Amino acid sequence: MSNAGLLILAPAHELEASRPLWKVAGPGKFRCPGDTAFNDWVDACVDHGVLFDFDADQALPRDLPANLDGVRCILLDPARRGEFAREPAAGRLREFQRRGGRVVYPAAGPEFDDPQADVYPRVLDLIQETGLTRRHPEMLARLRAMPEERLMAWWKSTLDEQRRVLQEKDAGWAWGDPVGYHYYAPVFDAADYFKDPALLEPAWEFMRNGLDRAQWAGGISCGKRFALKYYEHTRDRSVLERVQAEVDASLPMLRVPEGGVPEFVRKDNGWVNNEAFAGAGENLGSLSRVTGNPVYLEEAIRLGRFTHRCCFVPAESLWLHRGHAQGPRPEESGFWGRGNGWFMYGVRGVLEDMPADHPAREKFQAMLRAGLEGLVRHQRPDGLWHNVVTATEAASRTDCCGAWMYMAIFGRAWWKGWLRDGRIPPMLEQAWQGLKTKTWRGLPISQCCGTGYNTSHADYFRRAHTKFLGLPLMHALIELWRVRAAQKSS
């Protein structure tokens, strides 16, 4: 690669020829096992789209090249400092610096969810100081060139290893986030798409362990839809009874009285977090389908319509992350990308379980139609959306989480026939191309960290970003493949 400007040499822990580069995400900040702070700097360079050399496996070069012409900055792992302090490497680096080149041994990386320590702005400073090019066309093209089939094959091959890592290392491993939404949904989607029940074995194992009270004493906080699938798979009635008991206990707080507000909203002085509908939409309709009791679905419908009324702003055709029972207050919240995604994910869940002739179906399809208007309006030329969807580039970063969620939601809406808008397929294709530019070694490297609702726009703008699991990308790609298949058959 000529005139890349930036040279990144492989960190010490990647020098062993037998060491696989593509690994599942680990705990905490979702580093791959073996990753160090140096990898955070590499991820940030990918995130910025700075051109640097790597091979077809996305492996970094080990040694200084014979010719450093065109190189402006060299990024070296501090663990290899002693190696480059010896000749002849030391002399070559001194000569490189004498000619104005910059040699950087990055300091320690960020802690999870700490925007003050985020590497991204530090790498931006380095780019500006050394005159490197952000969003370099050649870099973006190389990232987009990663074959979809290779990504899919790798994600499928990691299902059991990812289960093991999450189960052994993540505090919320059984029924928390990310497992309840970001592991089970992609696995079930893959098993259905590929007609391969064997892909479900890691998920069944995960659930067996999570339902063992000796291993997991907590409740089934996320993923009740999939606990119910486990019940349908095993016919273990104790699982159904456990899910139903938890839902029944939560209903008094969630129930929307006629002309009133739910208890959880009343206790919060009228404020409504639009993400609260994600779990209700996913779980209540599913429980209604399994038990045959329509009450659960009706409760989800009322809560969805209430949340929509509190948070939706027609002028932007999007939902505020923090709405109010008396109506949306845009000056006191933001159109957070993840929040919009989770609200619409709840809508998707209700539509999934709602009978085809249900009178509320059109209203929920209309919610997706409204959200599509806002997303089409604010999709960037690179296919992604800002962390705060309506914000400018100067104020807000782009985020992988919103993009894969929108793909999963609107891809399903298209091929299932809930919403056949001609703008959906190109929106999804553009989003996928954008996501590939933020994917390094199979994992998204610009996933905005979650948060409760905030009262300041600045709180959303400065949310830290992190590396995340690859399985949500698998989920998005499968829905895109289904859209492509539906287009061909129509």
Q: Give pLDDT tens digits for 244-286.
A: 999 999 999 999 998 899 999 999 999 999 998 999 999 999 9
**Residue 337 · residue 385 · CB < 8 Å:** yes
CA distances from 17 to 14, 20, 64 (A): 8, 8, 17
Residue of 378, 396, 403 whose CA lies nearest to 462: 396
The least confident of 15-19, 304-308, 368-372 is 15-19
User: In whole angstroms, what is the distance from residue 14 CA to residue 36 CA?
Assistant: 10
**19 Cβ contact partners less than 8 Å away, ≥ 6 residues apart:** 13, 34
In the prediction, which pLDDT does 20 show?
87
In the prediction, which pLDDT does 351 show?
97
User: In whole angstroms, what is the distance from residue 314 CA to residue 295 CA?
Assistant: 30
In the prediction, which pLDDT does 57 show?
95
> Tokens representing 28?
């905490």
The least confident of 150-159, 173-182, 249-258, 472-481 is 173-182
**Other beta carbons within 10 Å of 143:** 19
Residue 312, pLDDT above cutoff 80:
yes
In the prediction, which pLDDT does 109 show?
52
| Sequence letter at residue 295 | V
Residue 90, pLDDT above cutoff 90:
yes
How is residue 397 annotated by DSSP?
-
Residue 310, pLDDT above cutoff 70:
yes
Residue of 371, 374, 384, 369 whose CA lies nearest to 420: 369
Residue 115, pLDDT above cutoff 60:
no
Q: Is 15 helix (H, G, I), strand (E, B) or coil?
A: coil
> Tokens representing 289?
């389908």
| 332 band by pLDDT with thresholds 50, 70 and 90 | confident
Q: Give pLDDT tens digits for 214-230.
A: 999 899 989 999 999 99
| 113 band by pLDDT with thresholds 50, 70 and 90 | very low
Domains of the chain, each with CATH number or no CATH: 6-139 (no CATH), 148-489 (1.50.10.10)
* DSSP string over 187-203: HHHHHHHTT-GGGGHHH
In the prediction, which pLDDT does 114 show?
53
| 16 band by pLDDT with thresholds 50, 70 and 90 | confident
> What integer is the mean pLDDT of 176-198?
94
| 108 band by pLDDT with thresholds 50, 70 and 90 | low
> What integer is the mean pLDDT of 451-480?
87
| 116 band by pLDDT with thresholds 50, 70 and 90 | low
Residue 490, pLDDT above cutoff 50:
yes
In the prediction, which pLDDT does 364 show?
98
Q: What are the residue ranges of helices labelled H in 56-116? A: 81-84, 89-98
> Tokens representing 29?
């900040």
In the prediction, which pLDDT does 459 show?
80
Residue 466, pLDDT above cutoff 90:
no
Q: Tell me the average pLDDT of the chain.
A: 93
Mind spelling out the 3-state secondary structure of 303-354? HHHHHHHHHEECCCCEECCEEECCCCCHHHCCCEHHHHHHHHHHHHHHHHHC
> What integer is the mean pLDDT of 191-203?
98
Residue 356, pLDDT above cutoff 90:
yes
User: In whole angstroms, what is the distance from residue 397 CA to residue 266 CA?
Assistant: 34
In the prediction, which pLDDT does 112 show?
44
Residue 338, pLDDT above cutoff 50:
yes
In the prediction, which pLDDT does 450 show?
79
Q: Give pLDDT tens digits for 38-78.
A: 999 999 999 999 999 999 999 999 999 999 999 999 999 99
Residue 376, pLDDT above cutoff 50:
yes
In the prediction, which pLDDT does 455 show?
67
Residue 131, pLDDT above cutoff 60:
yes
Residue 29, pLDDT above cutoff 90:
no
**Other beta carbons within 10 Å of 163:** 22
pTM of the predicted structure, to 2 decimals: 0.95
Q: Token match 């005159």: residue?
A: 131
